[in-house]
Structures are given as structure tokens and as C-alpha cells.
Amino acid sequence: MDISVTRKGDYELVVEKQDRMLVEATIFASDKIRLEPDAIAQLKNAACLPSVFRALAMPDIHVGYGVPIGSVVATRDIILPAAVGYDINCGMRVVTTPMKADRKEAVRIAESIRRDIPLGEGKRNISLSEDDFRVVAERGVKGLRKVSRKEGRIWDVRDEKDENEDIQKIEEYGSMEGDFSTISRRAAERGRSQLATLGGGNHFIEVQEVQKVFDTEIAGRFGLWQGQMVVMIHTGSRGFGHQIAGDYMAKARQASLDRAPNKDLCFLDIGTEAAADYIGAMHCAANFGFVNRQMMTVLVRHDLRRLYGEMPLPIVYDVAHNIAKLEEHFGQEVWVHRKGTTRAFPKSRMGGTIYADVGQPVLIPGSMGTASYILVGTEESARTLNSVNHGAGRTMSRTKAAGVVSRKGKVKRAGVITDEDFRESMAGIHLICENRYAIKQEAPQAYKDIDEVVRVVAEVGLAKIVARMVPMAVLKG
């Protein structure tokens, strides 16, 4: 596809209105960041949607399903399941510790966590009755109070004081208005036993060192200091969210195939029963994602306190980076679809929250083996509907990176990343992984340079860098 792209500065490119586009599309990237033509084509297609308000992409943009990952698509009168994606409320959380970073202890912590949190696809952990699962799906973290008398270790070590403090530091307070009646029985079956599981793909738990603090005052406000040990959690709504997404993408095709830019960009009209049902179901999946990270935090805290004694272990924040929300921007109420992008509210939009004085913490992970960042939202992020990137962004497919390997380890087709390349990239980092044959899919070489990606965001002024963390131990699916 021939697409005209114009660079309008060191960090901004514009796809001007052409063909059926209703708005121009903007990409924030430096000339050091490679952009896939297919990802640009997907963003252009999103700019052709009926009632589209904005189509934007961050420096981590890469090809996704329907719209590119690393994009923000805002619409007035429609909602798109594909622009949220399959892993609804995939997101990030950082747990702080009062401990100084120590590689030996990081290994000890990681090995303890692996015994409590299942890694990889299809794993189970906490099982709930249908009634309890309904409460969690409809009320999120706040719903846990209704199921707190369950038997089992995780319920025994769950601390309501910790939980109440956490709620103040979770996007949407960890609770969106879900409607359990809008989800399929298959979705409920897939979700009821998957809480407190990590999943596969790019999800991880990392024991990290705060390597550098860029803003001491804001870092202190977030509970961060240089040389500190922290734990970062990256996971989402697991099979529950995936099933909901698939169910409603099919319904969207039935509703709008004849009006959509292509079969992958079908939508539901706001005001219809189908759209209302998707919103209720999406909120259920989002609540699952928040509760999943909350339950994993309970287990991480349990492991740390068992190893080192009672200590405060507050979170910095919990952010979603696959979600659609109704927000006001430039005087209009629009549905902001963030797919692989992170909300970055400045302090003017954080009124009434614990961070009203500084702005929202923004959690941006790197790829496995590279740095991660914590930033804070700025007023300049209004340009991107208060959004920034969600990570580094892939430069190659998983198959290209790792090749095709059988479950028994037989190489069917070699990937471009060799075993030696992978070992070198992970030097000095303790790696725990469920599938050692597929792990090269997530190698650092398969991703863009996180330092350059974050530099672009900071130079444009969309967020301010607060701290940089590096991994000491990594747990992967």
C-alpha cells in the first residue's frame, strides 16, 4: 500500500488525509526507530472509521490485529473490540520494598515466587464458585471483600489494610462497572480458576533494581529511591479476557462488516444493545485483570515477608494498557481505545486521587533483559489524549525471532536469534521460564530499544522520566 507519510519534526510523523481517511494520523517516533509499513497502514485504516476523532501511535508501534499495537484510536459513536484487543486490561504494577537491591536475594525471591504463581499458558491457581466469580468480575478489587472468608493460603495472607491502600493506587480504583450477564459461559469457565496466574507471551514478573532516579522529589512521592529493590508485574485478563474479546469481535463483524474499513476493523454502534453488552463484558475482563495483579501481589508480599519478616510493601501504581474508556478531550466526550498504550494523566486530571499533586505514575516495561521505566504524566500529553507507549514494541514476529521448535526441543525452523545471542543478552540475569523452547520469542533482540522509545516520549514532553529500573531476576511463561 502506498502511504504518504510526512515528517514534521524530529519526533513526529503525519499521515495526511488521503483516500477514505476522515482525520490525519500522527506517529511519534525518531528516525532511529524503524516503522513497519503494515503498522502504518493499519493506523491509516483506523483513521477511516466512522466518527473517528483521533488516530495516533507511539514509538513502540507495531502490527497488531485490526489496529497497531502502540496506538490510540478515539471515536465518537462506535466502539471497537479489536482496538482494545484480546488481552483486555493487560497492564503493569510495581511493588516497592524497603530493601537495597541484591542479586543473590533477587534470585531467592524469584525462586520463592515461582512456587506460588504458575507461569505459562493454560495454568490454574485460585478457583472461585460461579457466584464469587461474578462478584469479582462485576466489582473488581473491591469485590474481594465479599469473598474474603474463603479457605486457602492466599485468603489467609490477604491483608485488607494493604488492599485498601492499593485500591487508591489502581487505575479506576481497580473496579469498573461490569455486567456478568453479558459474558459467555465459556468465558466464565475459562476465568474461574485462572486468577493469580501469569500467562505466557510477553507477560513477566521481574525483581528489579532502581538503577537511576531522574527526579528525586517525584520518585520519593512514588516511594522510589536509587539502589532499591522493586518487583514489577505484567499480566492481564488471561483466557477470560481472550474469550470475551473473541466473542465480541464476532458480534462486531455481524453488526458492521458492510460499513467497516476492513473485516478486522468492525465495530459496534454506541446506543445499541450489542455495544452496551460489550462495554459491560469488557469491564468484567478489566476487573479480572486488576484482581489478577492484586492476587499476585498478595503472593509476592507473602513470599517477601516470609523470607525477610514483616515490612511495608506498597505499590507505586497499577495501569491498564489495553482498554477503552469514555473520556473528555478537547471539549468532547469520546471513546478512547488504548491498545498497547498507557494512560498518562497530568495532575490536573488526577483531582481527588492520591497523586493529585504530582500526576499519574506511568509504568513502561522494557523487553526481557532490558531496562524498564517509571514516568509521570504531563499537561503536554493532551496532544495524545493523555497517552504514551506501553513498552518497547516488537521489531520481529515471535516465529522470526525463535523459529519453530517442537515441545520436545526439536528445531523445525531456525530463528534469527541464536542461542548464543540470547545467552549474551541475558548475562547476569537469573531467568526462570516455563517454556525454554519458546523463550527466545521474547528475547531483547526481538524488540526496539526501550531507551530510545522512552527518550522520544520525554523529548516530546508527553511524560517526564522519574526512574529507570534494570532486571536482576525474570520469571516468564
CB 368 within 8 A of CB 444: yes
**390 among known catalytic residues:** yes
Paired residues of 94 in beta bridges: 232
Cell (9 digits) for 363 = 509504568
How far is the C-alpha of 328 from the C-alpha of 331, rounded, in Å?
6
Mode of pairing for the β-strands spanning 204-213 and 463-476: antiparallel
- Pick the closest to residue 457 from 357, 386, 369, 396 (CA basis): 386
Q: What is the dihedral of CA 90, 96, 97, 98, to 10 degrees?
A: 180
Cell (9 digits) for 329 = 478531550
Q: Which of 234, 321, 390, 430 is catalytic?
A: 390
**Residue 95: CA count within 13 A, CB half-sphere:** 27
- Pick the closest to residue 340 from 234, 438, 445, 434 (CA basis): 234
How far is the C-alpha of 95 from the C-alpha of 299, rounded, in Å?
12
**Residue 82: CA count within 13 A, CB half-sphere:** 26
Residue carrying C-alpha cell 494512560: 343
Give the residue numbers annotated as catalytic, written as ranges.
Answer: 390
